[in-house]
């Protein structure tokens, strides 16, 4: 068995790719990151504060989802891969710890941790593959794009201060977000096709479902801790019950009935799982996660001071959070449904009696 095969997950008919304990351990850092983002929202209930938290959510999600792509290909049972994931976890922890001060005194730590996380993971993955392996080209492209955006991130963190960092960080995050749609174009190589991103769709869907559970769990932790701190009066208990039912409704909308199972089936059987993972999960899960964080912040406001009427930003969180979640969830389901459409004519043809023809 070659070294490359040892580092990659086994693929083939009948092989089911399970989520490993290493991946679940990695997710624990992002429980902390989501908690940090929720506290950021509550600490600065202004339009500018919400915008900063939303910007940082993009960074946190991008760090997590790119590592999920890597772990879909690479086998955490390999000591080398496990070492890379452990290093990424440490960088993620430093990044998460620095989130509250990303636009202040901790900006240098935040940006160095993020750049090391993204560029270092891609360099390590490419180094684990021989030049003849198809995935080597994928990760060489990732190295090029993460290096280009990394320069902007470092310039903003090292040379600028406060909100002035956004002058460079906004182009950096736009570059990061546009990279998948650009096919990680490189001079002399052109664009990569999404069919080159040969992922195991069921595992990818399961990992993203796990992140939704992280965000929903953090919502329960925030509201429960706030209720305990506020004192369990009758009004607080009522609002805590309302907050829990709202969180349960969000869970049901995403996981209820057979929705999750059906989605995993589509991811396993569609013709281009790489494109579907890019569209439905890498991009369209962002508003879902953002909606959960906003819901948690809105519930916290109601529980913390039930006798006070929220201001405009507070009402925006209370009503806008569920609306954003539902919008993201509907767009996600629509994208999954579009991937199912090519199967319908074939299914109708297979169900026709022998000797009949389609019109």
> In the numeric block, which tokens belong to residue 241?
């019950």
Q: What is the pLDDT, as a whole number, of residue 257?
A: 67
At 74 the three-state DSSP class reads: strand
In the 8-state DSSP scheme, what is residue 103?
T
Q: Tens digit of pLDDT for each residue in 240-259?
A: 999 999 999 999 999 986 77
Cα–Cα distance, 272 to 316 (Å, whole number): 38
310 has a pLDDT exceeding 60? yes
Fold (topology level) of 201-340 = 1.20.120
Average pLDDT over residues 255-282: 89
pLDDT (tens digit per residue) in 95-112: 999 999 999 999 999 999
For residue 68, pLDDT over 90 is answered with: yes
Residue 313, SS3 per DSSP: helix
Conformation bin of residue 184: beta by default, left when phi > 0, alpha when psi is -120 to 50: left
DSSP letter for 8, please: B
Closest CA to 33 of 58, 12, 10, 14: 58
In the chain, where the domains are located: 19-192, 201-340
Exposure string of 186-211, with b = 16+ CB inside 10 Å and e = fewer, is beeeeebebeebebbbbbbbbbbbeb
| Range with lowest mean pLDDT among 1-15, 151-165, 224-238 | 1-15
pLDDT value for 215:
93
Beta-bridge partner residues of 74: 8
pLDDT the model gives residue 351? 44
Per residue in 43-65, pLDDT (tens digit) is 999 999 999 999 999 999 999 99
Cβ-proximal residues to 71 (8 Å cutoff; 6+ apart), any chain: 20, 23, 26, 85, 207
Report whether pLDDT(183) > 50: yes
**Cα–Cα distance for residue pair 154/132, rounded to 1 Å:** 33
Read off the pLDDT of each residue in 223-241 and give the average, rounded to a whole number: 93
What is the residue-wise DSSP string for 164-225? GGHHHHHHHHHHHHHTTTTTT-BTTTBPPPGGGS---HHHHHHHHHHHHHHHHHHHHHHHHH
């Amino acid at each position: 068995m070659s070294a490359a095969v040892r580092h990659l997950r086994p693929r083939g008919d009948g092989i089911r790719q399970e989520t490993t304990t290493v991946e679940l351990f990695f997710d624990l850092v992002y429980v902390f990151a989501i908690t940090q983002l929720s506290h950021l929202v509550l600490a600065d209930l202004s339009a500018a504060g919400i915008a900063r938290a939303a910007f940082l959510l993009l960074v946190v999600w991008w760090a997590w989802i790119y590592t999920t792509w890597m772990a879909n290909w690479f086998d955490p049972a390999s000591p080398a891969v496990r070492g890379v994931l452990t290093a990424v976890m440490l960088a993620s922890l430093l990044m998460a710890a620095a989130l509250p001060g990303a636009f202040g005194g901790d900006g240098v730590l935040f940006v160095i941790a993020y750049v090391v996380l993204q560029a270092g993971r891609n360099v390590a993955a490419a180094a684990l593959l021989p030049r003849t392996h198809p995935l080597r080209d994928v990760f060489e492209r990732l190295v090029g794009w993460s290096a280009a955006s990394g320069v902007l991130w470092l310039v903003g963190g090292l040379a600028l201060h406060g909100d002035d960092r956004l002058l460079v960080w906004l182009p950096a995050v736009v570059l990061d977000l546009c990279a998948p749609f650009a096919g990680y174009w490189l001079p002399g190589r052109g664009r990569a096709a999404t069919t080159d991103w040969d992922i195991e769709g069921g595992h990818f869907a399961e990992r993203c479902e796990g992140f939704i559970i992280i965000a929903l769990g953090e919502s329960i932790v925030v509201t429960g801790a706030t209720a305990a701190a506020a004192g369990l009066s009758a009004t607080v208990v009522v609002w805590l019950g309302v907050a829990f039912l709202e969180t349960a409704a969000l869970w049901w909308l995403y996981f209820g009935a057979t929705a999750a199972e059906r989605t995993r089936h589509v991811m396993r059987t569609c013709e281009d799982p790489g494109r579907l993972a890019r569209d439905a999960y890498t991009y369209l899960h962002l508003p879902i996660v953002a909606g959960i964080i906003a819901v948690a912040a809105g519930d916290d406001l109601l529980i913390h001071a039930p006798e006070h009427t929220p201001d405009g930003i507070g009402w925006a969180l209370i009503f806008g959070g569920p609306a954003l979640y539902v919008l993201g969830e509907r767009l996600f389901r629509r994208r999954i449904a579009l991937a199912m459409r090519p199967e319908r004519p074939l299914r109708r043809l297979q169900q026709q009696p022998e000797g009949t023809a389609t019109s």
